[in-house]
Amino acid sequence: MELESAYRKPIIGGNLKREFKHGQTRKLIFEIAEELQNNPVDPDKVDVFIAPSEVYLSEAARAISELEAEGKLPKGFIKLGAQNVARRDKLGAFSGQHATATQLKEMKVSHVIIGHSEVRHGSNEDTEDMRFQESNKVINAKVRAAIAAGLTPVLAFGEDAQERASGREFSLVRRQITESLSGISKEEMLSSGLVLAYEPVWAIGAQALRAASKEEADSMQRFVRSIILELFGPEVAQTIRIQYGGSVKADNAASLIAQASIDGGLIGGAAKKAETFLPIVHAFAAMQKVPAPLTGRSLYDALKASGLGKIVARGNKEFRDHDFGKSAVTMCTNIRTPLSLDGIMQAAKETNSVAILQQAISEFDYTWPNGYSPDNVYRFAEEAHQAAARNNFSDYILKADHVTVKVDKAFLKDQGAQDQLATLLETILTATTNTEREAIFAAAYENKDFMANDNIKNAMKVLKKAVEHTKATVAAGYTIFALDASFMPARLNILATAFLAGFIPANASIEAEVGEIGNEDNSTVADALEFITGIRYQETIQRDPKTNAIVYSELVKENNQPVVVSRIKGLLDHGITIDRLAINNGTSHGNNYDKEGNPIQTKMNIRMTQAIAEALKPFGIEIVQHGVTGTPLSVLPQLRAAGIASAHVGTHWQNIVWDTLTEKAKEDPTIQALVNRIRTTLVEKYGKNYKVTSLTPSPEEDKVLHAKNLAKLIGKD
C-alpha cells in the first residue's frame, strides 16, 4: 500500500499563543480578510483555522461572523480554533481550568490544539516560562473529550533537542502517539477528522536551534503515518492529515509542503501578521507534491521495458533502452556507515545511474547507536534523504537487504520442531489478510505449550523479528526487499518467505534466496526450481575433485522431460511471485583471505549461475548476486550474460572509508586516535578468532604472521 498516494486537503493552523492584547485578534482577522479580497485563495484547496488565546475566542468569533455577513470573507473559510481544552466535559467547581469542549463549541470553535510542545514539555515548578506539563494520559483524556463534543482535535507531538541527540526521537514519538490516542476507535478517528501536528521542540519559537530540514520532517511524518496504520488500519492512515510545525515561514514552506507526507502547517510566529501568514496559506493551496519517488517496482519494470526498446517514465527519470537494455546490472550498495552515502550518490549522478541503498538486519547492529531497532530503520532512511538533498540527487531507492530468518544447527537437527513450525506457517498462509495471519502467529507465540521446545522458540523469535522488520521498512518507504530464509530447509524457506512477502506492497520488488551465501555447497538448478514450483527434479551433480564443491548440475530427463523426485508447495502455489533469486555460486560476503592470511578474490561459478538463470527464465525471474566485493573486475562484464540482473557491493565502500581514515590519520592526531580505538576494540572483541591478542606482536610471535592476522581481523570484522 502506498500511504502517500491519496490526496489530502492541506490544513493550516495559526496558533496565536498568548501574544495579543484586546482588539489585536480582531485586527488580524480583518487584515487577513482584506488580503484575501486582493489575492483570493480557493477554499476547496486548503483549510484554515486561527487559534487565539482563550480569552479572545469570542472576539475572534464575532470578527469572522461580521466579515462573512458582509461578504468580505468566504463563509466557513477561516475556522476558529482553541489552544487547549479541559480534560473532562463537565461543569462544576473547577476554578482556573480551561473551558470544556462543549463550552468551546458554544463559542463556535471547531478545532482545538491538544498536546502542544509548550504543555508537553513544561514544568510543575514556578519556572520562568510558566508552562504546565501535561502527561500523555491527560492529553488522551482531552482528545477523547474533544471528539465526544464534536470538535476536531489537532494532536501535537514532538521531541526536544536532547531526545533527538540521544537517538530517542522515534521511540518517544511512538509513545506520545500511542498513549495520546489510547481508547479511540477507527470510527472516531475518521468522523472527528483528527489532525496530527509534528512539532520538534528544538525548531520552535525564539529559542529554536534551527528549522527542521524537509528530510527530517518527512522521515518523522512517514514514521507517524506507519504508527497510525498499525493502530487504526489503512483507511485512517491514508486519510489522516499530518501538519508540520516549527519555524515555518514563507521562504521555507515550499520545500516542506512538497513532501508527500506533509499535509499542512501549524504556524506560530508567522501567524501574527497577515502579510507573513497568508503567503504560507497560498503556498499550501497551490502546492505541487514532488513526483512519485522511484520505487523497486518501477525500476525493474523499466529495466524489462527498456530491453524491448520502450521508454518508461518513473519518478524523476526516464529509463531508455540505451540506459539499460540487456547489458544493465543494477548495483545495490550496502551502507555500513553514512560516510559512504555522498560519494555513492555523486558517482551515480556522474554516470546517470540509479543508487540502491540497503542495509541487512545484521548491519543495523553495528551501524547505528543501540544496534538494531525499528527506529533505526527510519534513521537510515533519514540519513539517505539528507544525503540526497545535499547532493541534489533523487534517483535512489531504499532496500531491505537480508531480511533473515536464521535458525541454528539444533533446529536443523530437530525434525519435530521443523514439522510443527511448518504446520503453523501453512495455517497462517490459509488466512486471507495480514491481520488474521498476525493474530494466528501471535496466538502461537503466546502458547506456552507450543513454545516449550527451545528450538521452536528460537525460530519463532527470529521469524517475529523478520516480520517486524519487514513492516518497519515498508512503512519507512523501502521498496526492494531481499527475503532470506535460506538457512532453513526448502519447505520452511518457502513458507517463511511467503509469510513475509504478504506484508510487502505492490510498488515493491521482491527477492528471495536459495542456498546460504558463503556456504560450502553451491545452489543447483533443482534447488531453484523446487523453491519456485515446489517440484524437486532429479539431477546429476559434478563436483570439484579437490574441494568437493558443486561445480555444475544438470536435470535428468526421460522422454525429454525432467524426472520428478518429489512435490511440495512452492512459492507460486502460495501466490507469491518474485523478481530475483539469490543463489550460492561460490562468492562470500566481505573481504576474503586464504589460510595464511593473504587477501584473495572469490571465484564466482558463472556456468552454474547461467544454468540456473536459464531454468528460471520462464518464470520471469533473474539472479541477484551477493558478495561482489571480492570478485575480480575481469568477471564483472560477464554478469549480465549469466542472467544476473542485480549485484550487491558492501565491503568495498567500507574498505574505502577505512583506507581514507588510515591515510588521514598520518596527518591528524584526532583521526589517528579514532583508528587506534577501532583497532583496539576489534582486538578485544574478535582477536582470539584470528590469534591476535594485541596490536603489536609479542617477542615470541612471527611479525609477518601477526601482521597478516591483524589485517584479516580488520578486513573481516
- Assigned C-alpha cell, 400: 531491505
Which pLDDT value is given to residue 507?
85
- Which of these, 567, 431, 404, lies nearest to 490 by C-alpha position? 567
- Assigned C-alpha cell, 494: 518457502
| CATH class for the domain made up of 329-523+575-654 | alpha beta
* Confidence at 122, pLDDT banded by 50, 70, 90: low
Which residue has better confidence, 142 or 222? 142
Round to whole Å and give the CA distance between 437 and 425: 9
Round to whole Å and give the CA distance between 261 and 248: 16
The answer, as to whether pTM is greater than 0.85, is no
pLDDT digits (tens, 9 = 90+) for 654-689: 888 888 999 999 999 999 999 899 889 888 888 888
Residue type present at position 470: T
- The end-to-end CA distance of the chain, in Å, is 38
Cβ atoms 198, 157 nearer than 8 A: yes
- 535-537 vs 539-543, strand pairing mode: unpaired
Catalytic residue among 4, 199, 383, 513: 199
* Confidence at 617, pLDDT banded by 50, 70, 90: very high
pLDDT digits (tens, 9 = 90+) for 380-394: 988 898 898 889 888
> Packing angle between helix 415-430 and helix 454-475, nearest 10 degrees?
40
- Give ranges for CATH 3.20.20.70 in the chain: 11-285, 329-523+575-654
| CATH class for the domain made up of 11-285 | alpha beta
Cβ atoms 487, 517 nearer than 8 A: no
Round to whole Å and give the CA distance between 380 and 391: 17
Neighbouring residues of 705: CB distance < 8 A, sequence distance ≥ 6: 597
| Residue 211 DSSP one-character state | P
Beta bridge partners of 558: 561
Q: What is the CA radius of gyration of the chain?
A: 30
Cβ atoms 487, 514 nearer than 8 A: no
- Strand intervals (E) in 163-316: 195-198, 241-244, 264-267, 312-314
Cβ atoms 646, 330 nearer than 8 A: yes
Round to whole Å and give the CA distance between 682 and 676: 10
If you average pLDDT over residues 126-132, what whole number do you get? 62
Which pLDDT value is given to residue 519?
57
If you average pLDDT over residues 476-492, what whole number do you get? 94
Which pLDDT value is given to residue 602?
59
What's the distance, CA 377 to chain centroid? 5
Q: Which of 256-270, 323-337, 426-440, 641-655 has the lowest mean pLDDT?
A: 323-337
Which pLDDT value is given to residue 482?
96
Per-position b or e across 148-171, b if 16+ CB within 10 A of its CB: ebebbbbbbbbbbbebbeeebbbe
In the predicted structure, residue 314 carries a pLDDT above the cut 50? no
3-state helix, strand, coil in the chain (%, to 5): 45, 15, 35
* Confidence at 501, pLDDT banded by 50, 70, 90: very high
At residue 167, what are phi and psi to the nearest 5 degrees? 75, 20
**Half-sphere CA count of 132, side-chain side, radius 13 A:** 6
Angle at 704 between CA 702 and CA 709, to 5 degrees: 90
Average pLDDT, the chain: 86
Catalytic residue among 54, 111, 116, 134: 116
Highest mean pLDDT among 35-44, 416-425, 602-611: 416-425
Residue type present at position 491: R
pLDDT digits (tens, 9 = 90+) for 432-483: 888 899 999 999 999 999 999 999 999 999 999 999 999 999 988 899 999 9
How buried is residue 616: exposed, middle or buried, by Cβ count under 10 Å (0-12/13-18/19+)? buried
- 535-537 vs 564-567, strand pairing mode: antiparallel
Q: Any idea of the CA torsion for 516, 519, 524, 530, to the nearest 10 degrees? A: -30
Round to whole Å and give the CA distance between 386 and 391: 9
3-class SS at 557? strand
Which residue has better confidence, 205 or 615? 615
Q: Is 116 a catalytic residue?
A: yes
